[in-house]
Each structure stands twice: as structure tokens, then as C-alpha cells.
Structure 1
């Protein structure tokens, strides 16, 4: 499976959203979102603009090529890490994003004095 619908679904899943929630962001019903993802319908520009504002990589959705990240003043070691990251497949990049997001959330939790969540939270 490939194409805009597949990549749109991958972006929705990367953001951890249901079809209903993602559709609401784009201003469409869940059934329209499903049709976009199945390839039965093509999303319009206003929908794409709305989901882009919420973090969707629309260049990737439309072309299959991720938007290049602008970075300045990286050390040699940082450039090597970024280069290694960029050659990973999309699923591995998504896993790294989830890991780093979790780490950032935990770090913020420590900084705020909340510490680790209790078991069952």
C-alpha cells in the first residue's frame, strides 16, 4: 500500500490520533478521513493546511519525501547523528521521535517536581 492515503494514515498514527480526531482537525467527518486514507478521495488544500498546522508533514504526505529539517550550528558529532537518523526508514524515525518525546515529557515532569508517575497512572 502506498500513496497519499497511506502516508496520511502514517502521519495520523505518528501523531497518535483517531480518524475522528484527525478529521476534526482537518474539518471533515471520520468517514471522509477514512476515504482519504483508503485513497477513495483526495484531500483538498484547506484540509491539508489545517492538518499541517497541527504538525503533519504535508510534503511527505503529497510526495513521499519528508520535509528537510533546518538546523544550524551543529557539531560534527551532531551532524553524524542527524545524518544517521535521516537514512533510517520512516517507522524507525517515528520510534525515535516517540522515545525522545517521552524523554522530554519525563524531563519536564522532573523539572516541575512531579517526579515519576505512580504505578497505574
Structure 2
């Protein structure tokens, strides 16, 4: 791998606010091996590229210098995308329908209306599926458990 590609891999890791070890963990390699990839001393396998792409790394950018328009840009977006991909086709369809109800806000008043509408839909989902399931769908298992535990402490 070229040093230019290695620098881009480092940029992607830093964009996602990951340590060498955290990015390496996505493919079960240690921080030293990850650093060798980033310095161009070792060449990753195709399986490595596939694995890290699942966590939001823009592999097209790293390899070719071309940004992909639909890449997750923050750790939270990466988690949301990962959780979405782990759901059944029916759940993905339901979440897509929910998301389609909210085009980008035009102004602050519209933004507030969108937030209110979203909150109403979430409340409906909570009534239909239960709070724990909705939190899991939106935030993933670990964050949902933390939220539920915090709520139980305050009750």
C-alpha cells in the first residue's frame, strides 16, 4: 500500500475518532499491524477493507482518493448505520419509512415541527413495541441498556 493511501487511512481513522487499536479491533488485528497499514509497510487484505467499511471507513477515499457521498461521518452515525444493518428486512423497512417522513428542515420553525412529529412517531412506536425495543432500534444494545438503567435509578 502506498504512503498516500496509508495517510488517507489515518485520516479516516481520525475522522471517526478511533484509536489504532479500535480500528484494528474491527478486523481482529493489533495496533502495531494497524500502524503498519497506515505507514504503508504492510498491505491489508480485501477482507480487511470489507470489514472496516462496515464501520463507516470510506474505503473508496482511502484507495482512490474519491469521497463517497453516503458515508457515515461521526461515530454515532456509524453506530446507527451498523444497528440498521443488523436488523431484519421488516425492521429496516419500518425504519426507512419513519426516516422518509422527515426531509431536511427548511427553517427553524420547520425543524421544530419535524422534531415534534418525530417525537410523536417515537411515542407511537414505544406504545406498539415497548421502550426497550425502540431504544435498541435507535441506539443499539449497549446505549439502550445504559439509558434504561439510568431511567430506573431515577424512578
Q: TM-score, normalised by structure 1?
A: 0.55
Q: Deviations over 1:54-101 (max 9, x none)?
A: 0010000100111244xxxxxxxxxxxxxxxxxxxxxxxxxxx56xx8
Aligned to 1:6, the other structure's residue is in SS state helix
- Higher RCO, Cα 8 Å, sep 6+: 1
Q: TM-score, normalised by structure 2?
A: 0.43
What root-mean-square deviation, in Å, do the aligned CA atoms of Structure 1 and Structure 2 show? Answer: 2.8
The answer to whether the Cα contact below 8 Å between 1:19 and 1:30 also exists between their aligned partners in 2 is yes
**Structure whose CA Rg is larger:** 2
Cα distance in 2 for partners of 1:65, 1:17 equals 21
For structure 2, the residue ranges without an aligned partner over 5 or more in a row are 78-114, 120-155
Counterpart position of 1:40: 41
Aligned to 2:55, the other structure's residue is in SS state coil
Cα distance in 1 for partners of 2:35, 2:60 equals 20
For structure 1, the residue ranges without an aligned partner over 5 or more in a row are 70-96, 102-107, 112-121
The answer to whether the Cα contact below 8 Å between 1:5 and 1:39 also exists between their aligned partners in 2 is yes
Cα distance in 2 for partners of 1:10, 1:46 equals 20
Cα distance in 2 for partners of 1:28, 1:4 equals 19
Aligned to 2:56, the other structure's residue is in SS state coil
